């Protein structure tokens, strides 16, 4: 991660400079610290030619504008009355996208300075682990971001509070980007164990422990792979005694299929490599727990992830198999590619039984049907609780990780009736994301619950303001916002 420092507000003598400018604030921005005068009026003239007015999303890049600066980026913050932390983050992301070849970047004093930095840090994430022959002129040079501020102390404190969130997003993106030969269930569990350094309590369950508990659904998915399954339980105790929640934690549950071939109901070859990110739900839960612990959030929370590899082999589960879930309910496995719901069924049941949480939110790259519904713009969610649903929707708008509520209902539940077991694991093509949610709801025992189908959101094929293409870590900022706005203190 690039280094972020806060420093006294003076015109830098070299490197690149970012001006984050509210609409109508251009004159004031170029007058800051005598910038326009120091460049002989070049900055003002260039921004006029560029018709830069500070509108939201507007950017202007100036090369060698004078005064020793190598580049200057002006980025619009939009109307001052509409300015939100998210707008500032997006401005930071948009600005830094022009500055990868700079080593040092300074940001002139601006509102929400730490949010601008967060955006810049998030946008400059890159997964570099396996590039060994890249030429120096192709590599980003960016190493240090300096926030120039009059009130350096308060900006520093704001950044210190946000940095763990950036760390959590980076962790999730690393996990989701890792290739599936490296990130097996056991390796992913080891990466979770490393989080004890942040003060999380981490427990790992292997196949023997899960067999003893009776996790027939999760183990059925895992049985075709030579890579053993794991379940990881991460606990964060930050509420203190006698505080909100009466000792009951918030619970987050993630689907962690480290590779999904489909199993015996095997997927087509084209694009199958995408299924390395079928653990993005688990990845988001892990990054969220790291963020909460990193910022010492005043809340009790548990994160549970079910980690399996879905492979075809002589030992793989067959279409037609009936498995007994930890809840006692039986499932006829019609399609071995509908494996995520089988994994979540056992982990959700364990979660309720063990923790009696205030709510359970699960995240899963669960269905292609969800991508057909909402594309890659908005995540779909399902909930049995209107208050939780409202809060989630609001957290989505505030964080920019948007959500849209989808329906549940008996008519959909009928689609997963089985002739020989309590249910089957698929409900046909119509409403495929909804019948998947109905399946999961059968493993929710009355608790407030929400299911986030993030299949369309976990991986991006094009750059956006806060993420270069690749793993997005969708869900981490969303749920950190939800916790911060309603459940802390």
* Position with the least CB separation from Mn ion: 337
- Mark residue 271 as left, alpha or beta (left: phi above 0; alpha: psi -120 to 50; beta: remaining): left
Contact between residue 175 and residue 279 where contact means Cβ atoms under 8 Å apart: yes
Catalytic annotation on 391?
A: no
477/489 Cα distance (integer angstroms): 19
User: Token digits for 277?
Assistant: 């990110």
Inter-axis angle of helices 280-294 and 152-177, nearest 10: 150
The CA R_g of the chain, rounded to the nearest whole Å, is: 24
| 158, 178, 278, 332: residue in contact with Zn ion (rule CB under 5 A) | 278
Question: Among residues 197 and 269, whose Cβ is nearest to ligand BES?
Answer: 269
Least gap, CB of 455 to ligand BES (angstroms): 4
Catalytic annotation on 267?
A: yes
Catalytic residue among 267, 298, 402, 405: 267
The count of other CB atoms within 10 Å of the CB of residue 187 is: 17
417/438 Cα distance (integer angstroms): 11
* Phi, psi at 182, each rounded to 5°: -85, -50
16/179 Cα distance (integer angstroms): 35
The reply on whether position 36 binds Zn ion by CB under 5 A is: no
Nearest CA to 340 among 315, 320, 314, 369?
A: 369
Question: Among residues 90 and 413, whose Cβ is nearest to ligand BES?
Answer: 413
CA torsion, points 6, 84, 43, 48, in degrees to nearest 10?
A: 180
Catalytic residue among 341, 358, 424, 477: 341
Across the chain, how many H-helices and E-strands are there? 16, 19
Place of tokens 């990868």: 100
* Position with the least CB separation from ligand BES: 368
Could you tell me which residues are beta bridge partners of residue 75? 20, 59
Cα 256 to Cα 119, 197, 319, 336, 452, distances in angstroms = 27, 22, 21, 16, 14
Least gap, CB of 367 to ligand BES (angstroms): 4
Question: Among residues 340 and 379, whose Cβ is nearest to Zn ion?
Answer: 340
User: Token digits for 285?
Assistant: 């839960």
| 340, 357, 396, 400: residue in contact with Zn ion (rule CB under 5 A) | 340
Least gap, CB of 21 to Mn ion (angstroms): 47
The reply on whether position 85 binds Zn ion by CB under 5 A is: no
Note the residues at the interface with ligand BES (CB under 6 A).
Answer: 260, 278, 335, 337-340, 365-369, 426, 432, 455
Scanning 181-324, the segments in alpha helix (DSSP H) are: 185-193, 207-213, 216-222, 280-294
CA torsion, points 346, 401, 158, 15, in degrees to nearest 10?
A: 120
Q: Which residues contact 109 (CB under 8 A, 6 or more apart)?
A: 9, 32, 148, 149, 150
Least gap, CB of 461 to Mn ion (angstroms): 20
The count of other CB atoms within 10 Å of the CB of residue 111 is: 14
Question: Among residues 340 and 396, whose Cβ is nearest to Zn ion?
Answer: 340
CA torsion, points 186, 126, 361, 239, in degrees to nearest 10?
A: 90
Least gap, CB of 384 to ligand BES (angstroms): 22
Note the residues at the interface with Mn ion (CB under 5 A).
Answer: 260, 337, 339
Contact between residue 439 and residue 423 where contact means Cβ atoms under 8 Å apart: yes
Least gap, CB of 475 to Zn ion (angstroms): 16
Question: Among residues 89 and 278, whose Cβ is nearest to Zn ion?
Answer: 278
Stretch that binds Zn ion, among 254-262, 345-353, 401-409, 435-443 (CB under 5 A): 254-262
Contact between residue 272 and residue 220 where contact means Cβ atoms under 8 Å apart: no
Catalytic residues: 267, 341
């Amino acid at each position: 991660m690039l280094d972020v420092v806060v420093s006294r507000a003076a015109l830098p003598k070299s490197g690149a400079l970012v001006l984050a400018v509210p609409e109508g604030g251009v004159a004031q921005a170029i007058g800051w610290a005598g910038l326009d005068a120091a460049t002989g009026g070049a900055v003002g003239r260039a921004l006029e030619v560029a018709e830069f007015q500070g509108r939201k999303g507007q950017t202007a890049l100036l090369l060698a504008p004078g005064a020793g600066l190598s580049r200057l980026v002006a980025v619009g913050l939009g109307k001052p009355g509409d300015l939100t932390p998210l707008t500032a983050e997006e401005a930071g992301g948009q600005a830094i996208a022009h500055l990868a070849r700079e080593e040092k970047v300074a940001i002139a004093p601006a509102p929400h300075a730490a949010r601008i930095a967060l955006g810049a840090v998030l946008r400059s994430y890159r997964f570099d682990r396996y590039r060994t022959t890249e030429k120096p002129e192709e590599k980003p040079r960016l190493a240090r971001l300096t926030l120039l501020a009059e009130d350096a102390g308060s900006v520093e404190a704001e950044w210190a509070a946000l940095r763990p969130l950036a760390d959590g997003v980076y962790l999730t993106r690393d996990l989701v980007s890792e290739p599936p030969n490296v990130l097996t269930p056991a390796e992913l569990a080891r990466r979770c164990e490393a989080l004890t350094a942040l003060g999380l309590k981490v427990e790992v369950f292997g196949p023997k422990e899960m067999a003893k508990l009776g996790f027939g659904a999760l183990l059925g998915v895992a049985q075709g792979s030579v890579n053993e399954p794991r379940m990881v339980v991460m606990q964060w105790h930050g509420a203190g005694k006698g505080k909100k929640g009466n000792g009951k934690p918030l619970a987050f549950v993630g689907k962690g299929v480290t590779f999904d071939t489909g199993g015996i109901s095997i997927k087509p070859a084209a694009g199958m490599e995408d299924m390395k990110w079928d653990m993005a739900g688990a990845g988001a839960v892990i990054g969220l727990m790291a963020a909460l612990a990193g910022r010492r959030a005043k809340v009790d929370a548990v994160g549970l992830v079910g980690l399996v590899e879905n492979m075809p082999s002589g030992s793989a589960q067959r279409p037609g198999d009936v498995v007994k879930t930890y809840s006692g309910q039986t499932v006829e496995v019609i399609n071995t590619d509908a494996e995520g719901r089988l994994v979540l069924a056992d982990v959700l049941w364990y979660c309720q039984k063990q923790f009696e949480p205030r709510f359970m939110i699960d995240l899963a790259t669960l269905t292609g049907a969800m991508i057909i519904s909402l594309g890659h713009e908005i995540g779909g969610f399902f909930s049995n609780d209107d208050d939780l649903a409202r809060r989630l929707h609001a957290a989505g708008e505030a964080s920019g990780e948007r959500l849209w509520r989808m329906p549940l209902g008996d008519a959909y539940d009928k689609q997963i009736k089985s002739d020989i077991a309590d249910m089957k694991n698929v409900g046909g093509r119509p409403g495929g994301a909804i019948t998947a949610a109905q399946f999961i709801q059968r493993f929710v025992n009355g608790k407030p619950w929400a299911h986030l189908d993030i299949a369309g959101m976990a991986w991006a094929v094009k750059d956006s303001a806060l993420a270069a293409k690749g793993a997005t870590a969708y869900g981490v900022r969303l749920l950190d916002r939800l916790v911060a706005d309603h459940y802390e203190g």
